[in-house]
Amino acid sequence: MSLKFTAEEQVAVAAVRRACVLTSSVFNKLVKNETLVKGDKSPVTVGDYSAQAVVNTILGRAFPDDPIVGEEDAADLRIESGTVLKNRIVELANEALTSELGIGEKAEWGLGPGQSRTPDELLDAIDRGTYGGGRTGRMWTLDPIDGTKGFLRGEQYAVCLALIVDAQVELGVIGCPNLPVDALKPDGPRGCIFIAVRGHGAKQLTMSGADPKPLKIPSFSDDNLNFLESVEAAHSSHSFNNRVAQILGIKRAPTQMDSQAKYCSLARGDGGVYLRMPTGVGYKEKIWDHAPGSVLIEEAGGIITDSRGEPLDFGLGRTLGENYGFIAAGKDVHAKVLAAVKQAKEEEAKSKGNL
């Protein structure tokens, strides 16, 4: 275990693990009216809200002065029409906070049997996530369920938490309840936690904390290189990826997967490149969708930049600013993907008559 951010790592892993237990059990019980459509038309479920309540409650007890940039807020739960949803979230969050996980974590990260939180306390915990972010200071960023669409399909999703200090991601923890422990055994055991501490490497554990494996992105030959990309065509351009793959002479089909499980898969070599190019103008990528994944890639020996080769800037607030897309890959692969991306962008601009 690293000496840097040791307490933060323990608390973050405990919080993510409790949230993963919760989301796995919610999936099996989810009923139709337990999903809302947000203002930006994206879905949010009782799982997203209650996972944010659980993680923020645990962070709030351990580090009461740390602000949190979380994806969700409780506004829709504070109005009359949100009462049924709110009651369900309170029930689920308290169950997750007070249950005995029996997997070796220190009891104090959860709550004692009689210490259930009131509805107001849990809504306030969700709203601890409304911090605006910024260039200086210490803050957490949380995506309680990343890949909500994958979660609803019973496919990949991730509980993602990162600690950012002065705009640098120092710690990233990603829980992937549905990810096979070994990609070569897709029908084998599932559920992994990925942890990275800046300057101290990256590792994978099973969901119960067993079997730690250090992560290092392997090198790829041109024959076995492949892309990791979103399932959702609205989130990143599949056609652009196809063109880049063509330029690079990649023969293997892309692996489509929801959530930051893509960063995890890249970190352990299940895929060679994660390319995420915007599908249009206007959408700004969010820090919680990339902070934990970015430190994981860097600590596994890889590089992550935008499509101009610039580093991601986590100091701009809740978003990453103008969206130039992202390229994450091992050190040897990144440079040639960046060159191919630049070529594909020039072709695109020419075909639109912009050059």
**Catalytic (active-site) positions:** 48, 148
Q: Determine if 143 is a binding residue for Mg ion (CB under 5 A).
A: yes
Q: Determine if 258 is a binding residue for Mg ion (CB under 5 A).
A: no
Residue 204 interaction partner, one of Mg ion, ligand A3P, none, beta carbon < 5-8 Å per kind: none
The helices-and-strands tally (H runs, E runs) of the chain is: 9, 14
Site string for Mg ion, 49-78 (x = CB under 5 A): ----------------------x-------
Residue 75 interaction partner, one of Mg ion, ligand A3P, none, beta carbon < 5-8 Å per kind: none
Nearer residue to Mg ion within complex by CB, 42 or 98: 42
Distance, CA of 349 to chain centre: 32
DSSP output for 162-215:
EEEETTEEEEEEEEEEEEESSTT-TTS-EEEEEEEETTS-EEEEETTS-S-EE-
Q: Return the closest-CA partner of residue 286 out of 144, 89, 122, 154.
A: 144
Looking only at residues 71 through 130 of this chain, which bind Mg ion when binding is defined by CB under 5 A?
71
Nearer residue to ligand A3P within complex by CB, 111 or 161: 161
Size of the site for Mg ion (CB under 5 A): 7
Q: Which residue has the tokens 């000496």?
A: 3
Binding site for ligand A3P (CB under 6 A): 42, 71, 143, 146-148, 150, 230, 232, 234-235, 258-259, 279, 283, 286, 289
* φ/ψ bin of 171: left (φ > 0), alpha (ψ from -120 to 50), beta (otherwise): beta
Go through the chain and tell me how many residues it has: 355
Q: Where are the alpha helices (DSSP H) in the chain?
A: 6-29, 46-62, 83-98, 119-127, 148-153, 238-248, 261-267, 291-299, 331-351
Residue 141 interaction partner, one of ligand A3P, Mg ion, none, beta carbon < 5-8 Å per kind: none
By beta-carbon distance, which residue lies closest to ligand A3P? Answer: 230
Positions touching Mg ion (CB under 5 A) are 42, 71, 143, 145-146, 148, 289
